Structure 1
């Protein structure tokens, strides 16, 4: 159907009043939310650190702040949620560092003991009377 044969109704009112194609005096606003990101709560990481049971219960402290961050985010208090989120993140970093440090130290001591015992070809002087003094004399 072309425009020449189409008849407009008599109650036709134009949507625009000028050449720009916009209504005069009206504007459309689209609310996109805030530009700041919502803080993370690190809940899964905190649960893993809590279950590993680490030094000074750092994982448990991280879990407490993670839950507080989630609660504050739910209530809409983003400033408090961000503060709790930062605390949870740093407690998780400390707990994860401790979780990695202890097994690495145990492994290093085990390797040193095995290397010391191999250097004495079959004898086990490490377990004798002079064992500890001889072992530590290598590091002086």
Structure 2
């Protein structure tokens, strides 16, 4: 019989444990609040009404920083603030684009009959 096999046979006998103790470690779960970074990038590049898109871009970065530190309430605050700023930037930018299109349409067609 090889030497390795002999050691397994000798050491591999049944071990009887009289008491079993368990230790439970509670780990905090993953913080799953969205931080809207992609939306921030889109608003900063395309829907940047009065620099509102750039301002809104700072909040998801702060939210990610709060997630790393473990501050759940701070991360949720910055996330909700970023979402509100993104919605405002999107609405104001769309209204500005629609207003520009209407102004161009009105100025391009002269009033006839006056």
TM-score (structure 2 length as normaliser): 0.66
Q: How does 1:42-81 map to 2 (within 5 A)?
A: 42-52=36-46, 54-81=48-75
Unaligned runs of 5+ in 2: 1-9
**1-side partners of 2:50 and 2:105: how far apart?**
27
* CA displacement at 1:33 relative to structure 2: 3.3
Indicate the structure (1 or 2) with the bigger Cα radius of gyration: 1
Q: CA deviation at 1:26?
A: 2.5
Q: Which has the higher helix share?
A: 2
Q: Is 1:33 aligned to 2:28, yes or no?
A: yes
Map residues 1-140 of structure 1 onto 2, 5 A cutoff. Answer: 12-14=14-16, 26-27=21-22, 29=24, 31=26, 33-34=28-29, 37-52=31-46, 54-109=48-103, 124=110, 126=111, 130=114
8 Å Cα contact 1:38-1:78 kept in structure 2: no
Cα drift, residue 61 of structure 1: 1.3
